[in-house]
Chain A
Amino acid sequence: MSDMIVKKTARRIRNLAAGLGMAAAAQLALPGAAYAVDIQTITSDGGIKFLLVEDYTVPLIALSFSFNGGHSQDAVGKEGTSELLTNMLDEGAGEMDSKSFQEALDDNGMRYRFSAGTDKFSGSVQVLKSDADRSFELLSLMLTNPRFDEEPIERMKATRMNSLRAEQTNPQSIAAKALRETLFDDHPYSRPGNGTLESMEAITRDDLIAYHKNVLARDNVVIGIVGAISPEEAAKVVDKVFGKLPEKANLKPVPDVTPAIGEEKAITFDTPQTVISLALPGLKRDDEDFYAAYVVNYILGGGSFSSRLYEEVREKRGLAYGAYSYLATYDSTGFTGIGTATRAERAQQTVDVVRNEITRLAEEGPTPEELEKAKKYIIGSYAISNLDTSGKIASVLTAIQTAKLGTDYIDQRGDYIGSVSLEDTKRVAKRLLDAEPTIITVGRASE
């Protein structure tokens, strides 16, 4: 079994947001900390800009990329197109049909992963230095020249439809759907990223071709490369992989939207543990209050085993295995989410405890001690969590570009967090938390 798998299973909060069909990981948790990563900004001969970190310690090269697009670019009635595309790029490309291409990939041994989020279509690959030429050739074929043959389309649709059927009785998926639909009404963000049985059935080869042509374009991509490769070689790789994509993307505008807060939905479903999901106002990544909000979220229910929700829900009362909050930031909206799960007879008590913590933080703000601890954690954890493997650094390089942060961001992040004042956190706690939350529960009806 491969380490990639382990990384995937070690999912937490981020995937919960992803379960909503939203937010790629990089959009939720953002980079920063004083740590020397030597980032080079390079433009290839073909005119494509990318970031590079050279490191020859291990014989690997990691490449990460992200296109604007994602689920929100799926055509109406064809929801799930971008997700299906993540399965179709390696199912035959160029002259090779599915079987030949899969064998070529097997023989080469590169690792790759394509993913679709609410606003982005992304990928990451890791290649062995010794096989790099062939690996990037195959990657180029996947991105530029996928075949979209009928047999694999039909097969992947069937696989996805099986997953969609399973989602119908998964309490987490039921809650995510209800939350999405409650918050975003008829906005594109209300639509299911994975699609529905009907929309998946309806997707055709032409839909994949159209999506691919509209989204995967040179003016619409950010790229990060890390590993055993020189700037000149890296520039050639970028031209080889991305150079034949169309010049310009053709994206549908996604209007800004304010999430509907203050709604309640109790969904009756016969399962032992009730899933609880709350939403409050949020903000976008480019909001001037973002760093203060990041700190407030950490104190309420972010990262470590020391948050207020973790303490009150889990440690003191044993109500749940997990209790957490997150900032969901999208290109066109944002909200603050809270999640937990408990046995049916304790669901109401748990909601009450969570709501009490929301109110307390909104009214009083954090203590000076909490603020200091939060800053220390957020600053210190950055390098430990994000800069220890070449694959993660490559993701950081794309995230920095997606959020338009500048290559000094890793050095500056500590200051951005450090300069958040107690007053800032009190003001932002009120801005985010002084509201009737939207509350979704999925479980047995209370007696």
Chain B
Amino acid sequence: MKLKSGFLILALAASAAFTVTHMGVSAVSPAAAESEVAGPKVTSFFLDNGMQVVVIPDRRAPVVTHMVWYKAGAADEPPGKSGIAHYLEHLMFKGTKTTKNGEFSARVAAIGGQENAFTSKDYTAYFQRVTPEALPEMMALEADRMENLVLRQEDILAERDVVQEERNSRTENNPGSLLREAMGAALYQNHPYGIPIIGWQHEVNSLTKDDAIAFYDRFYTPNNAILVVAGDIDEATVRKLALETYGKVERRAEPGERVRPKEPEPRAERRVRMSDPRVRTPQFQRLYLTPSYYTDENNEAEALEVLSEILGGGTTSRMYRELVIGQKIATQAGAWYQGGSLDATEFGVYASPRGGVKPAQVETATEAVLAELLENGVTQQEVDRAAKRLIRSSIFTQDSQSTLARIYGGSLTLGSTIEDIQNWPKKIGAVTVEDVNAVARKYFDIRRSVTGVLLPQARQPKNEG
């Protein structure tokens, strides 16, 4: 496997989503890959109960991707109940008034389908990939669990243990994940983005059936959901099936505007430092608080996207050229921008020191790269190359109906329109040198940042005697 591609995996790991039932699928940055003009003809309509329906045709293979997205994620949890959005996502497989625990999954497996679900900070989504003949059954089952979930105490407790083991696998067994968790908590001083999606261990331990049902009753309602069907199907068929299934689900709640506590203007630089005997290779990361695609003004998000490419996208980026190739003090170095968030979000830079190099040295070098960029700005050629790369990547997404379904579902859930998504390449292409320099100067302010350092050896415990 190419190590260089791994740079972006880090970005994704730091980003949003968690899956349930099996393994991790990360969220795609909503704008990260939209179709060009030649892309599929995407259509959309609303059911009377307020549920949006989106159809993305892809007639190449007899396969459909069926997804339901809820505008409810970890950042919508009540205080003290961290992890409930993700725990509920697991519990959605436990049966309804008319289906047994595991029956939905068994019926998907019986036809050779694939399924899963994932929770991010802003949304939760459920999906199946099946042949078109099975779509009516999938829609009926998914509509059923939107309103008829039944939870039994014994299933609840076993599944809570499963979630604890999921947390153990993802986080507790991995010092890098523990550091990222601590950095997130430090970056967001007021906003619930500082709470891990999977939840704090002590709070997950005490989540109950009532907590899950309360979250379900508050957010799982057709007027808070988006149906995305991609694949070998036409709009008329989807419309007919949607009316027969989701169309019959009553509005169960009025979740209202998605207003979370806002971040104050950051005033103090923060540092998070963690030592763990399991660490063999130190890490340095820094996060800056920035606007997202959904909070920015004047297309700052597009400019930040281009900036992240110039600064840290691949081996021709400034970070890699300087720290890895030039100074030879790092084995990896890069940057990412997590623009696909409902509220203010993060821009990250990172570097892994080479054997024997101290994290402080790569931190100093990173700061010099940033200072140089602020001082002299980016070049027209850099902006052109970065934009071209981003735009071209969107064409590749046309090859995968499930990727398209994710991009549309995720972006629409956050408030984009189909037009926004399709205009993304154009807006990226319109980003200027001045735009990039302006966002860099505005947001690379140390007071907006959290610096995280992961170190190999535990420090000597202080004498507490």
CB-CB under 8 A for A3 and B316, given A8-B9, A321-B165: no
Residue B181 is within 8 A (CB to CB) of chain A in the complex: no
Q: Which residues of B contact A188 (CB under 8 A)?
A: none
Q: CA of A381 to CA of B1 in the docked complex: distance in angstroms?
A: 26
CA–CA, A317 and B154, complex, Å: 10
Task: Say yes or no: A3-B60 contact (C-beta < 8 A), given A113-B2, A379-B112, A380-B112.
Answer: no
A265 to B388, alpha carbons, bound, how many Å?
52
Closest 4 CB pairs of A and B: A380-B112, A318-B161, A318-B158, A381-B112
| Separation of A85 and B208 alpha carbons in the complex (Å) | 52
Note all chain B residues with C-beta closer than 8 A to A382.
112
- Looking at the complex, which one of B25, B32, B106, B280 makes contact with A10 (CB distance below 8 Å)? B25
A238 to B328, CA, bound (A): 38
Query: Which residue of B162, B314, B399 has the most chain A CB atoms within 10 A of its CB atom?
Result: B399
Looking at the complex, which one of B5, B33, B398 makes contact with A60 (CB distance below 8 Å)?
B398
Tell me the bound Cα distance from A59 to B394 in angstroms.
Answer: 12
A348 at the interface (CB under 8 A from B): no
Q: How far is the CB of B385 from chain A (nearest CB, A)?
A: 6
Do B169 and A162 touch (CB < 8 A)? Answer: no
7 interchain pairs, CB-CB under 8 A: A2-B393, A2-B396, A5-B12, A106-B316, A273-B169, A318-B162, A387-B63
B427 at interface, CB cutoff 8 A:
no
Does A406 count as interface, using CB distance less than 8 angstroms?
Answer: no
Measured in the bound complex, the distance between the Cα atoms of B32 and A413 in whole Å is: 37
B194 at interface, CB cutoff 8 A: no
List the B side residues contacting A390 at CB < 8 Å. 399
Which residues of A are interface residues toward B (Cβ below 8 A)? Answer: 1-6, 8-12, 33, 35, 55, 57-60, 62, 86-87, 98-99, 102-103, 106-107, 109, 111, 113-115, 126, 128, 151, 155-156, 158-163, 165-166, 168-169, 171, 270-273, 303-306, 311, 314-322, 341-343, 373, 376-385, 387-391
With A171-B173, A381-B114 known as contacts, the answer to whether A3 contacts B161 (CB < 8 A) is: no
Residues of B within 8 A of A33 (CB): 112
Could you list which residues of chain B lie within 8 angstroms of chain A, going by C-beta atoms? 1-5, 8-9, 11-13, 15, 21-26, 28-29, 32-33, 38, 58-63, 93, 101-102, 105-106, 108-115, 129-131, 157-166, 168-169, 172-173, 277-281, 314-316, 324-325, 328, 331-332, 336, 352, 354-355, 385, 388-389, 392-393, 395-403, 406
A168 vs B280: C-alpha distance when bound (angstroms)? 8
Contact A126 B109 (CB under 8 A): no
CB–CB B112/A389 < 8 A: no
* Residue of chain A at shortest CB distance from B385: A106
B-chain residues with CB within 8 Å of residue A158 when the two chains form the complex: 328, 331, 354-355
Chain B residue at smallest Cβ distance from A128: B395
Which of B26, B33, B109, B401 is within 8 Å of A305, CB to CB?
B109
Give the Cβ gap from B411 to chain A, nearest Cβ, in Å.
13
